[in-house]
Structure 1
Amino acid sequence: MKNSQNITWHHSSVSKKERHVKNGHKSCVLWFTGLSGSGKSTLANAVDHSLFHEGYSSYVLDGDNIRHGLNSDLRFGPADRKENIRRIGEVAKLFVDSGIIVSSAFISPFQEDRELVRQMFDIGEFVEIFVKCPIEVCENRDPKGLYKKARKGEIPEFTGISSPYESPDLPEIVIETDHMTITQSVEIIKKYLKDKKIL
């Protein structure tokens, strides 16, 4: 629960627009959502690598990494999943305010939670990327061995098995990782950013 009675928001002496001018590009959050094993982290890091080497200011926020630190106190029930996404939305907003293109790779299974994060940003700053991949393919990949554990009942409330995943209704970008290469996917995302004059 918010307690803002004695808290005042201090505006930065350097505006977001000024940071955009200095960086030579606008900022946004690339919100990668999809099942475990769909390729979110791989794609987010590939986009970040490409942007960085072209001189853009970018960073990756990865679901597993965040749960090692900032969100280490959260579990995987509905309430904690919601709080996990809320917190990372707030962190992503700080990155965007600082002029950085931030890639957030989180399963973020619920439409309502993703929409709440979208509302934190100015129009055009939240780019939802649905990393679409059939669960059968994700399960065959199973890079972390999580699906096997979930099938054995060792991981409760596992998205796609014992907990639902709600596909985005109108994502800005859809990447089908069972049909597209990493290079193709990165170029689609960069083209979107250029078309929207973020780059």
Structure 2
Amino acid sequence: MYKVFVNELPLILTNKVSETANGEYFLLNKDAIRTAIRSLRKKKLLEAYIYHPNHEEILKKFTQEIPLVVAAGGVVTNAEGKVLFIYRNDKWDLPKGKLDKGESIEDCAIREVMEETGVKDLRIENFLRTTYHVIVNSDIYTLKQVHWYAMKTEFEGKLKPEKKEGIVKARWKGPKKIQKALQNSYANIKILFEGD
């Protein structure tokens, strides 16, 4: 099962017919996928399911219809145990960005955090999870796949939000401020802070 967010609502790619409670099923073809995405965007549905019997094939077939953009980012913790957030498009987010050609996913995650916040001396602790969301730009649909890593840093310098990327703030946040920030964040970011 893959959970893909469309405007904060889940589009679930599944090989099980029993998973739906109050959503609607769609087949894995271009027209059905576009209808499912439109229904979620217009809030006609609160969740939708794309069904395909083969779990191994489902994401590959989905990305044949909706182009895939690979990105990486970090949940960065400093020496005080605070987590690094960025503020962009009136929401709290985490630093991330697109993979460059020939770059490893880990290198991309570190580069993007550095570029978007100015934080240096990052080290990856472990892989956290992969999230998915659909981006709609002039009726062109793209699936963004973000690989998230837990990172640590001893960096104590000034944070430098990358203005040309629309980032207006970069802040270290402790537990209370993290909870507050998550109230004005994205579903994909919230799930990074949920205990599994």
Query: Higher strand proportion, which one?
Result: 2
Coarse TM-score class (shorter-chain normalised)? under 0.3
Structure with larger RCO (C-alpha < 8 A, sep 6+): 1
When normalised by structure 1's length, the TM-score is: 0.20
Q: TM-score, normalised by structure 2?
A: 0.21
Greater helix content: 1
